[in-house]
Structure 1
Amino acid sequence: MANLKQLAVELSLSVTTVSRALKDGPEVHPLTIARVKDAAKRAGYLPNHHGYALKTGRTLTLTAVYPMETQDHLSDLLKLPLIEGMTLAARQAGYSLSIYSTTPDDDPVESVQRQLQARSTDGLIITRMVSGDPRVKLLLDAGMPFVTFGRTDLNVAYPYVDIDNEQIAYEATRRLMDKGCRRIALQLLVPEDQASAMRLAGYQRALAEAGIPIDQSLIGHGMFTMESSAGWFDRLLASSDRPTGLACANELGLLGALHALGRRGLVPGSDVHIVARDSTRLARFLPAKIGVHFVDMAGVGRKLIEVLESRIIDPLGPVSTILLQGRYEPAE
């Protein structure tokens, strides 16, 4: 495998010129850059990131601290579009993406502290934000570039990319009411999750505008695997005053709800109307009439990397905050 010196000799260029050409240096002629990159590709040249890190203090690595759902592998599959978007955007920006997987039992603050102590990354992406999330202040105090996927309610400026979960839940509830539904069930994830708090706020706002009192028995908290969703919704369907509408948290919650309906011989889109948040297009391949709010999670991943890269380049620059909308697609 060739090194920089060998490439320089082969091309009759200085080592400095070859190095700058491989980094698309503006001081190097475009034809020289193309010539160097072509030679490097043919020779199987790979940059020495370890040496670069020692020289510059940068690792050219970005790390996403990402919780896995142990014992529930299908939930983890739903994370792949986000990881894909982050991976491709990081590569385009000249970085490698590292996924630091955590389990439900891991302390989120300790996980971030371990990353800070390791000094093995140029920036962090943290997810699953909670109320008053202490990781934000920890990273700000440490001077580590970071971006959050989701928001917290701290009175401090920090960079984030989020989905407008409040508006999605509001629109889902309003659309179910437009179908004549008055008893509308709502799936939430864990109560501490800020995304769940925002979904609940949107649901409550829509009901309040319509003058419909909130029935706490129609609001479900949980990770909503297929099994837990089926069990929760089946219990609601067994009541004498069953729901006529359902706002699903995700695709797995939807599949569980459809299973519960099927067991009782009920028809989605007729006996019970459903609107689901969908990041994988799964709903469009199901034999059921379901309205969906589609969220482009690969696009979210790209935005996360863009914001994080801007923090690395200009740590004192404007703090980017991005709120992305879901796109509603009616039942077919």
Structure 2
Amino acid sequence: MANLKQIAAELSLSVTTVARALKDGPEVHPSTVARVKEEAARVGYVPNQHGRALKTGRTSTLTAVLPMETRDYLSDLAKLPLIEGMTLAARQLGYSLSVYSTTPEEDPVETLRRLLRARSADGLIITRMVSADPRIKLLLDEDVPFVTFGRTDLDLAYPYVDVDNEQIAYDATRRLTKKGCRRIALQLLVPEDQASTMRLLGYERAMNEAGNVIDPELIGHATFTMEASTDWFDRVLGSPDPPTGLACANELGLLGALRALGRRGLVPGRDVHIVTRDNTHLSRFLPAKIGIHSVDMADVGRKLVEILERQIANPTGQAATILLKGRFETLG
């Protein structure tokens, strides 16, 4: 692997000049900078990040902690555009992105402690927030640059990017009510997730405003893979008083619900009205009349990295917070 000494020898320059040229140092003539970068590209030079980290205490790496929701092979579909957005933003800012995946059985606090001990990143992106999430205080106490995707209900200032799940669920339920639906089913994700707590609040607010009775049997508490959604929605459709409206948690929950409707010969948009949150644009390719709240997860990823980079550059600055709305449209 090519190193600075080899490039310097090839160009008859000092190692210091080569190092400064690769960093666009103003003290190096532009023509020399161009010669050095051309030679570095030709020989495939890659900076030694480990050596740089030892000298500067910086790794030029950001780590995103992304728990696997389940062991289902499609359950984490929404994370793909999120990872894309984070990766591209990190690269543009001069960082590489490391994705640290965990299994559902792992303790998120112990996972975070391991990462903090390793000191392998300049900053952390934390996802899947829970109520009173203990990781926030741990990160604040350790004085580590971080940003979260999602919020928790602690009275602490910390940087985050979140989607307004309460408003999305409220708006979905309100739209279903306007379609004439009185019995409306709601898909939640993992019950302890803060996002599910917010979805439930929005649903209850809209139902109460419409004077609709909230039936706990129509509130699904599960990790909505396609199979789990199919089983749950088929069960509620078979009840003596089935729902005529459904607010889906995500695209996979939607696919399962559509399968359950098909089994019973029911048509979405006619027999049961559906509104779903869509993180991947998958819903646009389904031949069904549904409403969607579209969320640009790649943009979420970009914003997470941009906020984290600002935290790294200015650790004492005000914690930036962004709350994103879903964009509604009707399909089919």
Q: Which TM class, normalised by the smaller chain length?
A: over 0.9
Gaps of 5+ in 1: none
Partner in structure 2 of residue 154 of structure 1 = 154
Question: Equivalent residues in 2 for 1:187-226 (5 A)?
Answer: 187-226=187-226
1:3 Cα deviation after fit:
1.6
Range with bigger deviation, 155-164 or 176-185: 176-185
Would you say 1:272 and 2:272 are equivalent positions?
A: yes
Task: Give the paired residue count.
Answer: 332
In structure 1, distance between residues paired with 2:151 and 2:316: 20
Partner in structure 2 of residue 231 of structure 1 = 231
> Kindly tell me: are residues 266 and 320 of structure 1, through their superposed partners in 2, closer, same or farther at Cα, counting changes over 3 Å?
same
The amino acid that maps onto 2:160 is Y
The amino acid that maps onto 1:254 is L
> Kindly tell me: are residues 28 and 248 of structure 1, through their superposed partners in 2, closer, same or farther at Cα, counting changes over 3 Å?
farther
Would you say 1:111 and 2:118 are equivalent positions?
A: no
Partner in structure 2 of residue 294 of structure 1 = 294
Partner in structure 1 of residue 6 of structure 2 = 6
In structure 2, distance between residues paired with 1:316 and 1:29: 36
Contact 2:65 2:125 in 1 (8 A): yes
Range with bigger deviation, 161-170 or 69-78: 69-78
> Kindly tell me: are residues 228 and 12 of structure 1, through their superposed partners in 2, closer, same or farther at Cα, counting changes over 3 Å?
same
In structure 2, distance between residues paired with 1:7 and 1:53: 21
Would you say 1:39 and 2:75 are equivalent positions?
A: no
In structure 2, distance between residues paired with 1:26 and 1:164: 45
Partner in structure 2 of residue 165 of structure 1 = 165
Gaps of 5+ in 2: none
Contact 2:163 2:326 in 1 (8 A): yes
Match of 1:77, SS? coil
Identity score, percent: 76
Partner in structure 2 of residue 319 of structure 1 = 319
> Kindly tell me: are residues 238 and 54 of structure 1, through their superposed partners in 2, closer, same or farther at Cα, counting changes over 3 Å?
same
In structure 2, distance between residues paired with 1:33 and 1:293: 49
> Kindly tell me: are residues 303 and 27 of structure 1, through their superposed partners in 2, closer, same or farther at Cα, counting changes over 3 Å?
farther
In structure 2, distance between residues paired with 1:159 and 1:72: 31
Match of 2:231, SS? helix
Contact 2:69 2:223 in 1 (8 A): no
Would you say 1:74 and 2:94 are equivalent positions?
A: no
Q: What RMSD, in angstroms, separates the aligned Cα atoms of the two structures? A: 1.5
Range with bigger deviation, 212-221 or 311-320: 212-221
> Kindly tell me: are residues 219 and 16 of structure 1, through their superposed partners in 2, closer, same or farther at Cα, counting changes over 3 Å?
same
The amino acid that maps onto 1:133 is D
Cα deviation per residue 1:267-305 (whole Å; 9 max; x = unaligned)? 001000101111111111111111111111111111111
In structure 2, distance between residues paired with 1:190 and 1:211: 27
In structure 2, distance between residues paired with 1:304 and 1:217: 37
In structure 2, distance between residues paired with 1:27 and 1:323: 43
In structure 1, distance between residues paired with 2:274 and 2:124: 37
Range with bigger deviation, 80-89 or 4-13: 4-13
1:80 Cα deviation after fit:
1.0
The amino acid that maps onto 2:201 is A
1:330 Cα deviation after fit:
1.0
TM-score by length of 1: 0.96
Would you say 1:16 and 2:22 are equivalent positions?
A: no
1:36 Cα deviation after fit:
2.8
The amino acid that maps onto 1:55 is K
Cα deviation per residue 1:21-66 (whole Å; 9 max; x = unaligned)? 3234455555544443222111211101111011011111111111
